[in-house]
Amino acid sequence: MTAPIVIIGSGFAANQLVRTVRRMDALIPIQVFTADEGAEYNKPDLSHVFSKKQTAQDLVVKTGEDFAKEHNIELFANTLIDSVDTQAQQVMANGRPHAYSKLVFATGAKAFVPPMLGNAVEQVITLNSLQEYQVAEAKISRAKRVSVIGGGLIGVEIAMDLASSGKVVTVVEPNHRLLANLIPEFVVLPLEKQLEQQGVQLALGNDVAEVNHSGNAFAITLSRDQVVETDVVISAAGLRANTKLAMKSGIKVDKGIMVDARLQTSVANVYALGDCAEIQGRMRPYLQPIVLGANVLGKQLLGQEAQLVLPPMMVKVKTPSYPIQLAGCFDTAVHWDAQISPTGIIAKATDEDHQFVGFVVAGKQVDQAFPLLRELTTSVMSLRNSTGITRIIQ
Ligand SMILES: Cc1cc2nc3c(=O)[nH]c(=O)nc-3n(C[C@H](O)[C@H](O)[C@H](O)COP(=O)(O)OP(=O)(O)OC[C@H]3O[C@@H](n4cnc5c(N)ncnc54)[C@H](O)[C@@H]3O)c2cc1C
């Protein structure tokens, strides 16, 4: 009997892959091993659980058992894979070997907690999974004051949502502006103003040096010696791909598990998808690359050839009082053509060859995002067709 396809993980990447394979083949054996319960949920919903007063349980779309039954897979819930023998094509769980024909790492990533001193560092919360929210929800719900470490995409979304739910929020960000790695300053200034109007304190150009207990609460000491009293500290300072298991199995890793355009790792019959994967040198911790990647990988697993070609993809900053959407790559942008009004912004970036390379829309102008995405896609595709250059566009 042929060994099954084995998937490690039960997040969006694993579930999307299962759905894709099952659309093409109803019967091929699939085993899913996951360190958690295997419940299906929409992780981006974690950005607005506070204002919606949702518990972790409210976010569950389907139990692991139901998902497994519906898709005819064998689920090993609460089962950590300890090691992989890529020669014998086996994974080890609870001391027992399980053979695979093809193996997929869909092990996701961990939220990063920047190095800091103090006697309460262990109390810093992260919110990169349903389980982390479940552990923290009562503490956050009781808290009046919340400090968020990190003013990137997830940090600003969580900060605005906490403020909307009535908390007093402080955002600590080492850069001198929010979303510094994502969008230009002129787009982010109105967002900063909006957050301040909602009572969010922005401690920009600051790191957290120490977190200490202070009575029933915490005192965080910032690098500029300011001390903030807070009831909860949340770290939203970026992700680190879960690569340890792959690394100790002899699979090449860098920032993530390195894969090519077929989602194949450095080892035969082993693949990676989702937040754990570094696709052709880039991390892409978003849903759309997972959906497109699952289409390619599903075919590979069933013996068909396919290669991942990523079109320009939209990134949405889910800050409802001042939403922002963007696509493209601004590394090569030399000129911004921007229409700025009190209600919103449309900004298009071009490179030195006057090629349209990306856009940002904000506020009331977000309805321009899809027409601009179409224009950008056409521009990028025509460049690829005429020059053969596959420029990496977000
Ligand atoms: C607050 C928030 C908001 C977001 N908003 C958006 C958005 O608006 N748009 C967007 O595109 N993206 C968004 N994202 C990102 C998106 O949710 C992720 O890219 C996606 O969910 C990652 O899925 P994954 O399956 O790769 O990883 P995960 O969901 O992290 O799943 C990893 C799985 O691997 C399992 N696992 C790990 N190691 C082992 C092991 N050794 N053995 C067994 N099991 C193991 C875990 O238990 C888990 O089931 C957001 C993320 C967050 C945190």
Residue 26, C-beta contacts closer than 8 angstroms, at least 6 positions apart: 72
The full 3-state SS of 30-88, as one line of letters, equals EEEECCCCCCEECHHHHHHCCCCCCCHHHHEEECHHHHHHHHCCEEECCCCEEEEECCC
73-107 pLDDT, tens per residue?
999 999 999 999 999 999 999 999 999 999 999 99
Q: H or E element: which one contains 134?
A: helix 130-142
Q: Give per-residue pLDDT as tens, 336-346.
A: 999 999 889 99
Residue 384 Cα, ligand 1 centroid: separation in angstroms? 31
130 lines ligand 1 (CB under 6 A): no
For residue 32 and ligand 1, the question of a CB distance below 6 A is answered with no
User: 35 in ligand 1 pocket by Cβ < 6 Å?
Assistant: yes
Containing H/E element for 341? strand 335-341
Instruction: For ligand 1, pick from 275, 282, 318, 326 the residue to mutate: most ligand atoms within 8 Å of CB.
Output: 275
Atom of ligand 1 at shortest range from CA of 47: 1
Residue whose C-alpha is closest to residue 56's, from 149, 156, 143, 140: 140
Closest residue CA from atom 12 of ligand 1: 286
367: which 2 tokens? 């309805």
Burial class (CB in 10 A: 0-12, 13-18, 19+), 301: buried
Q: Whose CA is nearest to atom 3 of ligand 1?
A: 44
For ligand 1, the distance from its centroid to the CA atom of residue 181, given in whole angstroms, is: 21
CB distance 38 to ligand 1 below 6 Å: no
Average pLDDT of adjacent 10-residue blocks, the chain of 394 residues: 94 98 98 98 98 97 98 98 97 97 98 97 98 97 98 98 98 97 92 97 97 97 93 98 98 98 98 97 96 98 95 95 94 89 94 92 96 93 60 41
Beta carbons of 311 and 380 less than 8 angstroms apart: yes
Q: Which ligand 1 atom sits nearest the alpha carbon of residue 158? A: 1
Which domains occur in the chain, in start order? 5-42+61-109+241-301 (3.50.50.60), 113-237 (3.50.50.60), 315-387 (3.30.390.120)
Ligand 1: does its nearest atom lie under 6 Å from the Cβ of 150?
Answer: no
CB count within 10 Å of CB 72 equals 13
Centre of ligand 1 from the C-alpha of residue 272, in Å: 13
